[in-house]
Copies of this chain bind each other. A is one copy, B any other.
Amino acid sequence: MSVSIRRLTTSDPEFQAKLDRLLVFDDSTDESVERAVAEIIADVRQRGDDAVLDCTRRFDQLAAASMPALELPKAELAQAFAALDAERRQALEIAAARIRSYHEHQKADSWEYQDAEGMRLGQKVTPLDRVGLYVPGGKASYPSSVLMNAIPAKVAGVGELIMVVPTPRGEKNQLVLAAAHLAGVDRVFTIGGAQAVAALAYGTETIPQVDKIVGPGNAYVACAKRRVFGVVGIDMVAGPSEVLVIADGTTNPDWVAMDLFAQAEHDEMAQSILLCPDADFIDRVVQSINRLLPAMSRRETIAVSLSSRGALIQVADLDEACAVANRIAPEHLELSVQEARQLVEKIRHAGAIFIGPHTSESIGDYCAGPDHVLPTSRSARFSSPLGVYDFQKRSSLIEVPAAAAAKLGPVASVLARGEGLTAHARAAELRYED
């Protein structure tokens, strides 16, 4: 079994155009999905629990007498955790502790200062009251994702964390339930799809309204999240996963090949790209790919992903590799080079930077500590990994004593009158005229 993976070089005058075509990912939503989701949301807003029950019957082939019957008792989560074999339980515990410890570093505190005029200014930082966590059913249902979404919320101090997970025909993923127990999820409903998103966004008789919804889902879930944005907060809508490896040619080529596989095995749309100045090394990576692929359990998916969306790109030097990386703004960036720290300085856009040859992306995916929910599809240009900051929000604090109101009120008055807002001006003036 061999795979044909495209090879490019930056010295090709057409390189930029070829790269742009490679990176294109069309995430436009099907019109029929839009219509179906709009109808489901309207139905849930109007009929509440009954609408969610009907959808669950229809889409998940799961009939329940009432919404409360679709809530899992906490004892069932605890039981799933207790039933894990020791090795797996310990691995989950180590991962959870490391994720928690890392995210503690992200917690923001309220701050305030007094300026020269005697004003006290700052921001009060508070956790969100209630958050909804969407967990997909079926093959994309990962216990590690439960930890990576739930733990930052809990570290932020979110009051109540409500998980929804579809269980088609009643089939539950015990590992997901065990992870929910470990992460401290407060309530779990076995519902999914646009109906679960709508129920969390607007509330029903049984499901309380949340303030924000996070977590990945299929096209219906993504479309529903976009539509309820504003009523509640949402996290980024994720595209296919991507890795970009920058190698200087000193790493074991098997390691690089396996890192490209690890990304490609997610799904056929996943993207694995290598940048390297050393053509011989690229040849050796190709040999590793062809030698290692047959043993992979997901070799078909890997082969399709690598041949349709992968690339091995020869660059002039590592500086140029960094420039291309900034252009790609990858979700995951591996610096598989000797002088990795020097390259970190040159990277402006990446979801996560894996520094040095021993730092496999996969150790970061599970247990290094940083979050594995990362900006995809070039959105690292303007957004950040999921973090505690996504579950905290800020209120400005402004306290103006009488003397400062007298000194700076006239400034507000002049500017307000310049904008034709007389009541704004008068409100400032009354504070120093009286």
Asked if A230 and B405 sit within 8 Å, CB to CB, the answer is: no
B252 touches A434 (CB 8 A): yes
A384:B380 contact, CB within 8 angstroms: no
- Count contacts on A: residues with CB < 8 A to the other chain: 126
Q: A237-267, CB under 8 A of B: which get 1 and which 0?
A: 1000000000000001011001101101110
The number of times this chain is found in the oligomer is: 2
Residue of B nearest to A120 (CB): B355
Contacts of A375 in B (CB 8 A): 393
Say yes or no: A344-B427 contact (C-beta < 8 A), given A92-B415, A411-B367, A415-B91.
no
| A422 interface residue (CB < 8 Å to B) | yes
Name A400's contact: one of B229, B359, B398 (CB within 8 Å). B359
Q: How far, in angstroms, from A389 to B359 measured CA to CA in the complex?
A: 29
Q: Which residues of B contact A362 (CB under 8 A)?
A: 412, 416, 421, 424-425, 427-428
Tell me, in angstroms, the Cα distance from A351 to B98 when the chains sit together.
33
Tell me if A88 counts as interface (CB < 8 A to partner B): yes
Structural contact, B255 and A411, CB atoms closer than 8 A: no
Chain A window 146-165, contacts with chain B (Cβ cutoff 8 Å), 1 for yes, 0 for no: 00000000000000000000
A interface residues, Cβ below 8 angstroms from B? 27, 87-88, 91-92, 94-95, 98, 101-102, 105-106, 111, 113, 115, 119-124, 126, 128-129, 139, 142-144, 175, 211-212, 226, 229-230, 232-233, 236-237, 252, 254-255, 258-259, 261-262, 264-266, 292, 296-298, 302, 333, 340, 344, 347-356, 358-371, 374-375, 377, 379-385, 387, 389, 393-402, 404-405, 408-412, 414-416, 418-428, 430-431, 434
